[in-house]
Structure 1
């Protein structure tokens, strides 16, 4: 097949609704030449399907290289077209689906000059954004990291073929987002399920031939990502896999997903089986449009049941945070007040009220920021001067505490950040005192404050923080330079949970919003995501939901006036979404109900929070 008929074939495929990659004409192997880019797919559309074109007879080495790199981005099952550009041995052994290298844009390619007995050799390069490892986890690369590989061509049956294909798939960011989709798998940290984000193929995996649901379940059974593994556990016995030969999973007439397991799971107790089923149900429930009502785990015979679990019971096992009753903020008189956000949506005349307890009486200081425990029985408030952190009961009897649980020694005002609770009842705050900076934890909200080591902080100042409800991740806004902050997520390691006396620490910081040149505010959101307010380089301030592994933007919010100086709060409750609440420089406290526009709640208010 020569170049002209192949180009015509490309046009016909487009006319039929498929998108084919353009194919280069035949060319002989050049001995010199400039670097040329392999263009990435324009935009991201998961409905678009891209197909490569097989190599032409007697195609030159340059055309073989270009055709192979383009075919690597195709939707071909098992990457059959890409394998046709390889030698027979390379085509049989190539297993690229086990890992993915994600590039900022396309690959650049150039011939390597000089005589070689084997045949022509091409160098392919690109700027690395991330890798997706064998556990399907996305790992951002350091800015400026370079990818490099050499493609060795040889003559096989009088045709040029590639003998040394890359060990992984190499895709531009746009092609990666077209071919792969993010999903959460879930593991236990204590009694709470924790989201572990991974990527699976939009369609059948080229190596395993599994559909997306089956890929996701397989990834769950394989265990947590390397980043999360030190702080979570799986209820599935070691070695548990899908029943041999399982390539797809289906739903029955009652919208129940039935999952056959191998013999490793045969002897689990019912409580353990229910926890296994809870992990599985939360993992698959957001993957499909149908959202299963129930999962059933089957024995290795594929027929008899190990256990089943419905969505209602799964929520009790999963340890999800209780639905918040109120949203809280600091009003213009510097008092902590509360309001029912649903009431604001239904009746825009609804008014905030002072929180109950001692904070509703004259206090020796005004409030600058606050956090409310998940049970909404205690408030942690920072004094107006930013030096004292107090824990105050909002239920029962008792007065204002005489002493703060933590005091900053900083000479200037506002050295303590807004605090944050985790679901275990621990309280977190950062001190920005230049002489004594650091992250502090107050166990149970009442114990002696302990300084927490943050590995990889490298002298950067923590300007704000938010601990996830599960208590194993902490989002840190760090000052990279005066007036510029970036967002990072660290893993909270608690050796005390395993019976050792080593201190709690934060490990392996990873960029959570690498797309943002400057981050203004953030909050944890349902499904382990983050709502981030910030701007890209040269752009305007926007509020966006982002995946916590830093891989992509999930969705953007409508613009609000005065986002230049904003704090933002989101409820982590997944059962009933609550409005987003923010502090707008222009309007005070503003609220965004699901599917609606921003509403003004209180002029002059600031520091909005949901419990947590």
Structure 2
């Protein structure tokens, strides 16, 4: 699905200018996704007399080849099926312990754990704990068993998929036009990766993200494959509107941040209809340093870890009290969040939660100043902030998403599918404010969901809430380690208790983090890009340093407290 943003709004907030040539013709792009021959494994053809199970297993193994059109895999099919089977489009990723079982009716059933699926644009969707179950019909052809009804697309074992494909981010623009937003995609390793990545940018954001971001490249086309020489990628575009020069700034930032991830690219040269672009203050050969303000993981220098102890707001700097009455414990805070302004490097609005007599109260005020009550409830989730807007979010009574802008007037955010997912215990905005990670009550304890924040005129909504780590149960807390990575506290998979994990925003690459040094089970977590993750364990604060959890002040006793967070 393509986003179709109106760049008039972007032009208002963007500085600089560019000139765009007005006409040219696109050139056919060849081998957009063709991998080099040395990637993957050498597929083996069927052996004479192979059983039905062996034919199906051989077909699955041969689909892991990266040879164009999968000629060996087609040898496992009937002649008619080999001619009609399409190996392009979607990919189904299954567990490596799959089992083909022959039936009594010339069929073979394949059962495996469904790891996930990858659509034609490379976007991964987790399997949500489902089972992959597919039947193959086999017939005798020239005295040998062959598959007659393969489904289009590829079925890859998880190790083969991880070895053959790289996950990179296609970057789009947040609604403020001030930073790029990651949209993870899987691309075949090899020389054509740069062209394939730009092709994904031109096609647009993934379906779940499209309503939350803008795409400066909408309507553009490549005139030729992306060329790379001496680690400089040259991107030649056509089809850009002649009156859209202001969008050239964000377009260049989008291309440079996306291509910079590739191992063989260190800079980008952008051409439009064969002519160099003219962007004020930016050289012909551009790097991410020229577009540092669009950094997806930028965090203000003033963003120092905070937490709450004995009702008072404190910083992780030796447990110092935050300035003003919030730091004295006057408000008996149980949780808080603070906005930060990267332009002024100053902390802005403080939103705190105070609970007394069974009633929770949301308090708002300037950092270091007095806080005033603005909203009562039975409960509030710990407040959360994003780096792109001066506002704080929370969830009231488990289902009503509340947004508190700088004016301090709370507003309800539409989240139509949240109540049916379960009561929200945790709600955390991504650093760019385009996504929200939510922990809801599920049948096996807390469940982790990720949704997209959609802004249209004065309307704000949270949509497309989906499970991203179905393997995890009893999820306790979540935080954003980066714009595309989460830190999760959930039930330990190897023993009783709770353990920290990291996982991509799309659910890929679930990894267990160290518990070394923790005195007890972790109960709360805080994280931010380029900041040390914090957890609460046994009522004390700990930070992750070189794979080991240590006290906030090295060599000293742990500091007591809870509800840690980083201002954004």
Query: Contact 1:358 / 1:393 at 8 angstroms: preserved in 2?
Result: no
Map of 1:500 onto structure 2: none
Instruction: Provide the rounded CA distance (Å) in 1 between the counterparts of 2:257 and 2:520.
Output: 34
Aligned equivalent of 2:216, options 226, 235, 239: 235
- The alpha-carbon distance between structure 1 residues 218 and 487, as it changes in their structure 2 partners (threshold 3 A), is same
Instruction: Provide the rounded CA distance (Å) in 1 between the counterparts of 2:299 and 2:552.
Output: 26
Instruction: Provide the rounded CA distance (Å) in 2 between the counterparts of 1:279 and 1:54.
Output: 43
- The alpha-carbon distance between structure 1 residues 234 and 149, as it changes in their structure 2 partners (threshold 3 A), is farther
Aligned equivalent of 1:313, options 290, 299, 302: 290
Pairwise mapping of residues 66-465 of structure 1 onto structure 2 (< 5 A)? 66-88=57-79, 90-114=81-105, 121-153=107-139, 155=141, 160-190=145-175, 191=177, 192-201=179-188, 203-204=189-190, 211-238=192-219, 240-244=220-224, 246=225, 249-252=227-230, 255-261=231-237, 263-265=238-240, 267=242, 269-288=244-263, 292=266, 294-301=267-274, 304=276, 308=284, 309-317=286-294, 321-340=298-317, 351-360=318-327, 363=330, 365-375=331-341, 376-385=347-356, 387-394=360-367, 399-401=369-371, 403-408=372-377, 410=378, 415-422=379-386, 423-432=388-397, 437-444=399-406, 446-450=408-412, 452-458=414-420, 460-465=422-427
Query: Contact 2:260 / 2:288 at 8 angstroms: preserved in 1?
Result: no
Query: Contact 1:182 / 1:200 at 8 angstroms: preserved in 2?
Result: yes
Query: Contact 2:452 / 2:462 at 8 angstroms: preserved in 1?
Result: yes
- The alpha-carbon distance between structure 1 residues 591 and 160, as it changes in their structure 2 partners (threshold 3 A), is closer
Query: Contact 1:523 / 1:532 at 8 angstroms: preserved in 2?
Result: yes
Q: CA deviation at 1:48?
A: 9.3
Is residue 64 of structure 1 aligned with residue 28 of structure 2?
Answer: no
In the alignment, structure 2 segments of 5+ residues that lack a partner are 1-37, 342-346
In the alignment, structure 1 segments of 5+ residues that lack a partner are 1-46, 115-119, 205-209, 341-350, 498-502
Query: Contact 2:128 / 2:467 at 8 angstroms: preserved in 1?
Result: no
Count of aligned pairs between the two proteins: 511
Q: CA deviation at 1:321?
A: 4.2
Q: CA deviation at 1:317?
A: 4.2
Q: CA deviation at 1:123?
A: 4.0
Instruction: Provide the rounded CA distance (Å) in 2 between the counterparts of 1:103 and 1:366.
Output: 50
Aligned residue for 1:218, secondary structure, equals helix
- The alpha-carbon distance between structure 1 residues 536 and 582, as it changes in their structure 2 partners (threshold 3 A), is closer
Instruction: Provide the rounded CA distance (Å) in 1 between the counterparts of 2:53 and 2:534.
Output: 56
Aligned residue for 1:65, secondary structure, equals helix
Query: Contact 1:567 / 1:582 at 8 angstroms: preserved in 2?
Result: yes
TM-score normalised by the chain length of structure 2: 0.81
Specify which structure has the higher proportion of strand. Answer: 2
Map of 1:493 onto structure 2: 454
Aligned-CA RMSD value? 3.1
Q: CA deviation at 1:530?
A: 0.4
Map of 1:32 onto structure 2: none
Map of 2:22 onto structure 1: none
- The alpha-carbon distance between structure 1 residues 339 and 108, as it changes in their structure 2 partners (threshold 3 A), is closer
- The alpha-carbon distance between structure 1 residues 481 and 122, as it changes in their structure 2 partners (threshold 3 A), is closer
Aligned residue for 1:51, secondary structure, equals coil
Q: CA deviation at 1:187?
A: 0.9
Q: CA deviation at 1:549?
A: 1.3
Q: CA deviation at 1:476?
A: 0.7
Aligned residue for 1:230, secondary structure, equals helix
Q: CA deviation at 1:112?
A: 4.8
Query: Contact 2:515 / 2:548 at 8 angstroms: preserved in 1?
Result: no
Q: CA deviation at 1:81?
A: 2.0
Instruction: Provide the rounded CA distance (Å) in 1 between the counterparts of 2:550 and 2:39.
Output: 34
Pairwise mapping of residues 568-583 of structure 1 onto structure 2 (< 5 A)? 568-572=525-529, 577-583=530-536
Q: CA deviation at 1:463?
A: 1.0
Map of 1:564 onto structure 2: 521
Map of 1:38 onto structure 2: none
Query: Whose relative contact order is higher, 1 or 2, with alpha carbons under 8 Å and at least 6 apart?
Result: 2
Instruction: Provide the rounded CA distance (Å) in 2 between the counterparts of 1:62 and 1:146.
Output: 17
TM-score normalised by the chain length of structure 1: 0.75
Query: Contact 1:560 / 1:584 at 8 angstroms: preserved in 2?
Result: no
Q: CA deviation at 1:124?
A: 3.5
- Larger CA Rg, structure 1 vs 2: 1
Instruction: Provide the rounded CA distance (Å) in 2 between the counterparts of 1:153 and 1:299.
Output: 54
Instruction: Provide the rounded CA distance (Å) in 1 between the counterparts of 2:183 and 2:564.
Output: 28
